Amino acid sequence: MTDTDRAGPRNRLHLPRRHHGPRVTTDQARSRLRSLATGARPSRGQVVAAMLLALLGIALVAQVRSTDEAGLRQLRQAELVALLDNVTGRVDALQQEVVQLEADRLRLQGEQGGEAAAVAAAERLESYAILAGTVPVQGPGVTIYVNDPEGGVTQTMMLDAIQELRDAGAEAIQIGAERVVASTWVGTDAEGRVTLDGAPLVPPYRIVAIGDSHTLAAAMAIPGGFSDSLRGVGATVNVVEDDDLLVDALHPAQEPRYARPVPSAPE
């Protein structure tokens, strides 16, 4: 704001015929201020002015109070409409944000679910791969050396061995260079040799089973079981427990040609 008193409106009602402010020195002005403060003659005009100022004070305080506590009551219609518009806009924006955030949350949950599913799938894949014999595995277990100089070991005995080992919780079995899996079959070839998945086994046999080594060893030593029956036909059986064995024979995975999974019922 300009602070020249030459500018601005010149029609002040309380200053009749004022061309511009009379030249007032600061001393004059200050002495007049002092006389104002220390008291003037209580004329009627002074009293009326005081009453007017009292009214002004009351109005001032009342207005300040009402502004402080003003809700929407003293706003004009246009202002109210603008305010309502504003609030509505804000509500819209916030609702959009809510929708956005909900979508984000859903997406994240889906991703999390996907991650969990991926982890579960990886674990399942691992156990299936071990079961299918497509990966080499290591762990504690037993190694069974069978020396069969007389060729007395039969297909049934080999089946018994596999059966006993599985019964004792063997998780992976390797006989010779062949991995024993779910589809593994024991047979004999034309020369009377025991075959595993069609591959002939040549003595001495070496059977590696991964599992709890004590349980496996105990299963092999059951009276009238595998070891006994083999010794009965003149073979020697030697079971060695070990904390870290390697089953490195692999069974090539085959796509099933006939079996198909039953489609899961729609939920």
Q: Please report, as ranges, the residues that interact with another protein according to CB under 8 A.
A: 1-5, 7-9, 12-16, 18, 21-22, 24-26, 28-30, 32-33, 36-40, 42-63, 65-67, 73-74, 76, 78-79
Q: Which is nearer to another protein, 28 or 88 (CB)?
A: 28
CB of 90 to another protein, least distance (A): 22
Q: Which 3 state secondary structure label does DSSP give 214?
A: helix
Of the candidates 256, 168, 251, the one whose C-alpha atom is nearest the C-alpha of residue 210 is 168
Contacts of 148 (CB under 8 A, 6+ apart): 203, 204, 205, 230, 233, 234, 235
CB 152 within 8 A of CB 144: no
Q: Which DSSP symbol is given to 177? A: T
Residue whose C-alpha is closest to residue 155's, from 184, 118, 127, 177: 184
Q: Which amino acid is at 180?
A: V
* Cβ 4 to another protein shortest distance, Å: 8
Is omega for the bond preceding 136 within 30 degrees of 0, making it cis? Answer: no
Alpha carbons 224 and 149: distance in angstroms, whole number: 21
Residue 80 Cβ, how far from another protein at the closest point, in Å? 11
Q: Shortest distance, CB of residue 84 to another protein, whole angstroms?
A: 15
Cβ nearer to another protein, comparing 69 with 244 = 69
Q: Which is nearer to another protein, 50 or 91 (CB)?
A: 50
Buried b (16+ CB within 10 A) or exposed e, 218-249: ebbeeeeebbebbeeeebebebeeeeebebeb
Instruction: Closer to another protein by CB, 5 or 111: give it.
Output: 5
33 vs 101, beta carbon nearer another protein: 33
Between 1 and 122, CB nearer to another protein: 1
